[in-house]
Amino acid sequence: MTDTSEISIQERSSQEKAVFIGENLAFEVYGKFGTRDPRRIAGILGIKIEMKDKGSIGELEVFSSYNHRSKVITIYRDLLMTFSKKVGIDNPLDFLLAHEIFHHLLYKNEVRQRSGILNEISAHSFAIKLQGSNVIKQGNKDP
């Protein structure tokens, strides 16, 4: 996952669709596996999780990534706190795991969207929905 805070106005309706795709898949996954715990879901899906120290490459901040071929989610330790503050969540690790699990599911189900940014929005919505409404800290909630 990289920073996707900028999106043009023209993309707004497809943005709403992307949110729907993410939320919908979260409902499906919760219904199917009966858990919101991304670690357990990763286990069921046969996805491995690895931690690396450094995710920042110059200006670019990579918080986490998923390798389809090896089925490995990589979480970068150095940016966990940065991510937590940016998105306003208490448990950045679970959030990023859920985000990358979405990429796994999307890849498998071939409901891929053309735009990378839209996929990121879907993954974000998936992670929020999967973890329930309490994931976003009060102060960072939209009015």
Could you tell me the smallest distance in angstroms from the CB atom of residue 143 to Zn ion? 26
Start-to-end C-alpha separation, the chain? 25
Nearer to Zn ion, 1 or 128 (CB): 1
Nearer to Zn ion, 94 or 120 (CB): 120
Contact 103, 66 (CB under 8 A): yes
List residues near Zn ion by CB under 5 A.
1, 120, 123
Nearer to Zn ion, 19 or 123 (CB): 123
Nearer to Zn ion, 117 or 136 (CB): 117
Could you tell me the smallest distance in angstroms from the CB atom of residue 63 to Zn ion? 9
Contact 116, 36 (CB under 8 A): no
Strand partners, 66: 73
Could you tell me the smallest distance in angstroms from the CB atom of residue 4 to Zn ion? 8
CB closest to Zn ion, residue no? 1
Long-range pairs for 24-27 at CB < 8 Å and ≥24 separation? 25/102, 25/105, 25/106, 25/122, 25/126, 26/125, 26/126, 26/127, 26/128, 26/129, 26/130, 27/129
Could you tell me the smallest distance in angstroms from the CB atom of residue 138 to Zn ion? 25
Contact 62, 83 (CB under 8 A): no
